[in-house]
Structure 1
């Protein structure tokens, strides 16, 4: 009769016990009670060790992208809107924050599959992009460059535009090119002078070579991030909304068809222009909630999107519209 060898905690020390527990659970297929019996520890301790293994990066749990990109709604989105790919995350029964977290996590897991050696990836800003970047597992993509698309600004979330690009570059072991200037200048003539400065001009010129972009869209609601960050005043927002603006893309306003709604604010901005975001090799849009539904439709119609990451609820709403 076969016997199971028991090992006590005294025989396994420090980090090794976490690895041992993770190996038994994920590679040997033992359940938590079996592991507890083998190591002479409680089941609760096994649960804690498995949690520690995930939090410290010893274990990475991912689901294969085809599970989401071949979902019926993902296929329907591509057919309806001419997208090259869509990644639809289940969110039934999830509240707004839980749905947000699921979509951001899904985008973080899919992103490395969409990148290739030598890419020049432009990165926008905002909570969605920031949280996505934080969720990306470290990868190395050869000869890759990450570029900040919009200048710096204040933010109520405690991060900056350059933090998004810098952090992603670190995750991907890529070169990082940031814009060393505010996103909005007080006067148009001063902004023009800054754009002509050799150092900043060289940085802006680099944006011309971007072949892929990662972004979310902003809304034109009164509490829009474009206002809370100081990029636009409530008066600026009202001015653009009165002229048909329904969304914000990299700090620029767009109408329901994705066309630029240009105004005095554009002359004061430091960052990529909307015409440079159309016709790229890849435009990766992440839409985590229904509040961005109208802006998402506009971005798709404007030709800025080739790849979409969203939740099931948003996907159904897009298709119903």
Structure 2
């Protein structure tokens, strides 16, 4: 029996039919320890998912609100109220890794960004051998202090190893010094080849970059930006980034000067990829996440319960503020239209 078939058979008998391991071993003509390994591999690969909900969770209600507001699939990961941001990140990384393992398959291409969240996701990937698949790096990683190649290369390699997929690295800086240099490089055949893999991707996997926070985003904490760059971000109203493309709070990005030097796919280019998975954890990600949602770059959101709560609260506050401003403007128009009363 093929191993995948054996995993499915053992899992079905154990989890669905409540058959004991000794009986399964006799039925499959193998040892009890072999059955135990099959069940473990089934869990690691995502074939079997076990969910525990020891306390009530707001997750389903939060997910529904986010889905209704933004039209995306949302998975809210339950976390303890006292969990710190590192623990919240780990739980989101585990959930995202399970989903990616389930969705990615043979003859598919997955584009992967790099960063703190993606590194955590890569550590939790289950082994799922595929055929004819590829993993491509979405944005450059080098900077003036380090090549960045080893960091991004190891991260992307973890995805390749998990899926037995061919790996395509993107050997360019995260940000060029000059937009003209970037434009020239985009004509080089070696770069064109990587860009073509990015364009053909079936899945894009990324997170949200935030300028500050308890767990800072890698692009802001590892020497990718100079002091002058940070000043530019502040002056242009930038709240965060997706794949090193910077966004304002309203989701706009086209006229930002830093983006002319950036190497990641723009929101318009990301939107051409059918499934776009974003894993997010952390209070500092709420505002840049809203910018990414407004830019339309996400189809599937994996978010921890605390961050989801703050996102919903923030959206509601903005709506209430907009309603109050509209009511005030209406009253002012009404007052201006009223005829003056003679004294």
**Structure 1 gaps, min length 5:** 1-22, 30-52
Task: State the partner residue of 1:16.
Answer: none
How far apart are the structure 1 equivalents of 2:78 and 2:153? 28
Task: State the partner residue of 1:142.
Answer: 131
- TM-score if structure 2 supplies the norm length? 0.69
Tell me if 1:177 matches 2:178: no
Aligned with 1:98 (options 79, 87, 96):
87
- What is the CA-CA distance between 1:81 and the residue it aligns to? 2.0
How far apart are the structure 1 equivalents of 2:196 and 2:42? 41
Task: State the partner residue of 2:300.
Answer: 307
**Count of residue pairs brought into register by the alignment:** 273
Which contiguous aligned blocks of 4+ residues in structure 1 show a shift greater than 6 angstroms? 65-70, 155-158
- What is the CA-CA distance between 1:133 and the residue it aligns to? 0.8
Gap change, CA 1:302 and 1:268, over 3 Å in 2? closer
- What is the CA-CA distance between 1:158 and the residue it aligns to? 10
Gap change, CA 1:69 and 1:201, over 3 Å in 2? farther
Tell me if 1:114 matches 2:84: no
Gap change, CA 1:58 and 1:274, over 3 Å in 2? closer
Task: State the partner residue of 1:165.
Answer: 156
The 5 A counterparts of 1:58-73 are 60=43, 63-64=49-50, 71-73=60-62
- TM-score if structure 1 supplies the norm length? 0.74
How far apart are the structure 2 equivalents of 1:159 and 1:291? 27
How far apart are the structure 2 equivalents of 1:121 and 1:144? 8
1:89–1:310 Cα contact (<8 Å) kept? no
State the Cα RMSD in Å.
Answer: 3.3
Task: State the partner residue of 1:284.
Answer: 277
Gap change, CA 1:66 and 1:272, over 3 Å in 2? farther
- What is the CA-CA distance between 1:245 and the residue it aligns to? 1.2
Aligned with 2:122 (options 127, 133, 136):
133
How far apart are the structure 2 equivalents of 1:271 and 1:95? 30
1:69–1:85 Cα contact (<8 Å) kept? no
How far apart are the structure 2 equivalents of 1:123 and 1:215? 6
Find the residue that maps to 2:186 and give its secondary structure: helix
1:91–1:311 Cα contact (<8 Å) kept? no
